[in-house]
A and B are shown apart, each in its own frame.
Chain A
Amino acid sequence: MGKISLEVNGRKVEKEASDNTLLSTFLREHLQLTGTHIGCDTSQCGACVVHVDGNSLKSCTALAADVNGSKVTTIEGLETNGKMHPMQEAFKKLHGLQCGFCTPGMVMSAVDLLQKNKKPSDTEIRDWLEGNICRCTGYQNIVAAVKEAATKM
């Protein structure tokens, strides 16, 4: 057991957790932030992607202890005053989702891409989303949504 101190979506949190607690478990079960999804749980599908100190990572493959002291942003942290983030708006507008299971991770990865590359090409978007798997959309509308968001961010 150890104390985990994080800043999650701008709020300081401190909780006791066993050393084998994954960041995804800490977010979902200790903080009830269930927007971060656990899909494959083997670091392939990307449904659990969150930002830690400004970079995206798969929270099912990071220990909470190992990111202790960091700033974490989850899908719940993207909205401002009840207004969706431009990336969320674009996914909604262009039908970048169907069942929605992969969407939190997809959106968090895509936001990280636009932080690093303001005007990505289709190929760059597809390359960047390599670690995010969607079984519904066929990706076309996801790529279109990321391009749309790039014009708004």
Chain B
Amino acid sequence: MKDFNYHSAKDSKEASKLASSSSAFLAGGMTTIPSMKLGLATYKDLIDIKNIKKLSGIKVSGKSVTIGAATKHVEVSNSKDVKKAIPSLSSLAEGIGDPQVRNRGTIGGSIANNDPSADYPSACIALNATIHTNERKIEAAKFFKGMFETALKKGELIEAIEFQIPEKSSYQKHPNPASRYAIVGVYVAKHKEDVNVAVTGAKSCVYNDKEMSKALSGNFSSSSIDGMDLDSSEMNSDMHASADFRASLVVTQAKKAVDAC
């Protein structure tokens, strides 16, 4: 791994002041460090944000669950408050990677990286999340721009993610047996007004499946999406699953999620 300068920031202000066009924020490092080791990314400066106290912790209000960006997956999966308010979010965290990854990886890191197969982006879309940064608030629907691409500007730091508590929800994934990344993951959330069906792993970026959302908003039963023939033309196709198989998996996992709600 090429050398760089390591900085540990005390607060968000210091972190964004240190940021430049050749820097990266370091949270759990579960993607950043392997990418740097493989030579896929090089930075002059790594700005560690784990020691910024304000960025860790979980707050639950009547309508929402707010999770600090540097909160680890293990903290979300173990949180009694999250389990009570949005049980599907806690079980999603419990299914990420392996225990060592969950001991280090953070929610903010996962979202900022926006891996097409990551779990958390689907939670953000399904639970109408608001991403709080040191500069502004961004709706999840406008945050995830494309493969590994987000609305974040250089030096902009995620501080917290605010999830809307749904009436019912469930996240179901067909994991890659080695990495536990989602080959396809579907997060179904029934809110008062409508239903979101957020899909990860199937395309280059997480998305809300409008067709299934519409069907489930009319009748919240797995029978209303049974046998739905989704367009697979934009779906990923690789050694693990063809586009057509992914399209079929999306429906299967969505049905499982609705039944588990």
A141 contacts the other chain (CB 8 A):
no
18 A–B pairs (Cβ distance < 8 Å), ordered by A: A19-B4, A20-B3, A22-B1, A41-B37, A42-B34, A42-B37, A43-B30, A57-B100, A58-B100, A58-B101, A62-B29, A63-B33, A65-B48, A66-B29, A66-B48, A112-B99, A130-B98, A131-B97
A46 contacts the other chain (CB 8 A):
yes
A109 contacts the other chain (CB 8 A):
yes
B178 contacts the other chain (CB 8 A):
yes
CA gap between A41 and B37 in the complex, in Å: 9
Q: Report A22 CB to chain B, min CB distance, Å.
A: 8
Q: Report A26 CB to chain B, min CB distance, Å.
A: 13
Interface residues of B (CB under 8 A from A): 1-6, 8, 26, 29-30, 33-34, 37-38, 46, 48, 50, 74, 97-101, 103-104, 178-180
Of the listed residues A55, A61, A109, the one surrounded by the most CB atoms of chain B closer than 10 A to its CB is A61
A49 contacts the other chain (CB 8 A):
yes
How many A residues have CB within 8 A of the partner chain? 27
- A-B pairs, top 8 by smallest CB distance, nearest first, are A131-B98, A19-B6, A130-B98, A65-B6, A55-B103, A20-B3, A58-B100, A20-B1
With a cutoff of 8 Å between Cβ atoms, the chain A residues found around residue B6 in the complex are 2, 19-20, 63, 65-66
Cβ–Cβ contact A19 & B3, under 8 A: yes
Interface residues of A (CB under 8 A from B): 2, 18-20, 22, 41-44, 46, 49, 55-58, 61-63, 65-66, 109, 112-113, 128, 130-132
With a cutoff of 8 Å between Cβ atoms, the chain A residues found around residue B8 in the complex are 65
With a cutoff of 8 Å between Cβ atoms, the chain A residues found around residue B97 in the complex are 130-131
| Total residue contacts A-B, CB cutoff 8 A | 75
Cβ–Cβ contact B50 & A56, under 8 A: no
CA gap between A22 and B37 in the complex, in Å: 10
Cβ–Cβ contact A43 & B4, under 8 A: no
A19-B3, A61-B29, A61-B30 given; A49·B100 CB < 8 A = yes
> Of B4, B48, B104, which one neighbours A61 at CB under 8 angstroms?
B104
With a cutoff of 8 Å between Cβ atoms, the chain A residues found around residue B26 in the complex are 63, 66
With a cutoff of 8 Å between Cβ atoms, the chain B residues found around residue A57 in the complex are 100, 103-104
Cβ–Cβ contact A18 & B178, under 8 A: no
With a cutoff of 8 Å between Cβ atoms, the chain A residues found around residue B103 in the complex are 55-57
CA gap between A22 and B48 in the complex, in Å: 15
With a cutoff of 8 Å between Cβ atoms, the chain B residues found around residue A61 in the complex are 29-30, 33-34, 104
Q: Report A45 CB to chain B, min CB distance, Å.
A: 10
With a cutoff of 8 Å between Cβ atoms, the chain B residues found around residue A132 in the complex are 98
Cβ–Cβ contact A63 & B37, under 8 A: no
With a cutoff of 8 Å between Cβ atoms, the chain A residues found around residue B179 in the complex are 44
Cβ–Cβ contact A42 & B38, under 8 A: yes
Q: Report A20 CB to chain B, min CB distance, Å.
A: 5
